[in-house]
Amino acid sequence: MRFRKPTVEPLEINLTPMIDCLLFLIVFLLLATSFNHFSRLNIILPEAEGVVSAEQTSSIEVAVQEDGSYLVNGIGLASSSEAELTNMLKQEAGDKRDMLFVIAADANATHQSVVRVMDIAGKLGFLNLNISTVVPLGQTLPQ
């Protein structure tokens, strides 16, 4: 009896299914991704060392208290709603949007309360937004 030698077929890797899967994933990711650009505020961050600020004649200062309530130029608001804060800022600023806008937040105030003030300031079009800081104890301001 004569046996034939088994023929060895050459090993071949087919890349077509892998390429199809990768293209499908790329198309899915492109369709699922949103390309929205949210509005951004240009914020001038204060120096923690304490810098003497140039005095401006008109400014708006919004104080954010620990409980989430707001004071606009020392005047307390009845509630901490967005609508009331917006109305008070419009009343204080009038048509001027280039005046200094200062946010003074309590150290224990929630992040949401501070960001709400920033968001409203951006929506109203204020250009000069600052966050006030406290000079650390034992440090003097440069003259």
**pLDDT, tens digit, 9 for 90 and up, residues 84-138:** 988 888 888 888 888 888 898 888 888 888 899 999 998 888 888 888 866 555 5
- Residue 69 lies in domain: 43-131
Which residue would you say has higher pLDDT here, 60 or 41? 60
pLDDT at 12: 85
pLDDT at 18: 93
pLDDT at 22: 95
pLDDT at 4: 83
DSSP for 6-60, written as a single string: PPPPPP----HHHHHHHHHHHHHHHHH----------EEPPPTT--PPPP-S-EE
Tell me if 57 is assigned to some domain: yes
CATH number at residue 122: 3.30.420.270
pLDDT at 24: 94
83: closest CA among 54, 138, 112, 120?
Answer: 120
100: closest CA among 126, 64, 135, 71?
Answer: 126
Tell me if 20 is assigned to some domain: no
Give Cα separations from 140 to 50, 125, 131, 135 (angstroms).
8, 34, 19, 8
Which residue would you say has higher pLDDT here, 72 or 140? 72
pLDDT at 20: 95
Place of tokens 């208290």: 65
Tell me if 16 is assigned to some domain: no
Tell me if 143 is assigned to some domain: no
Give Cα separations from 11 to 15, 16, 49, 78 (angstroms).
13, 16, 70, 79
Tell me if 26 is assigned to some domain: no
> What total number of domains does the chain contain?
1
Residues 14-55 have pLDDT tens digits of 899 999 999 999 999 988 887 666 655 555 555 555 555 555
Tell me if 117 is assigned to some domain: yes
pLDDT above 90 (res 1):
no
Pairing of strands 59-64, 70-72: antiparallel
Instruction: Answer whether 0.85 is exceeded by the pTM.
Output: no
pLDDT at 42: 59
pLDDT at 45: 54
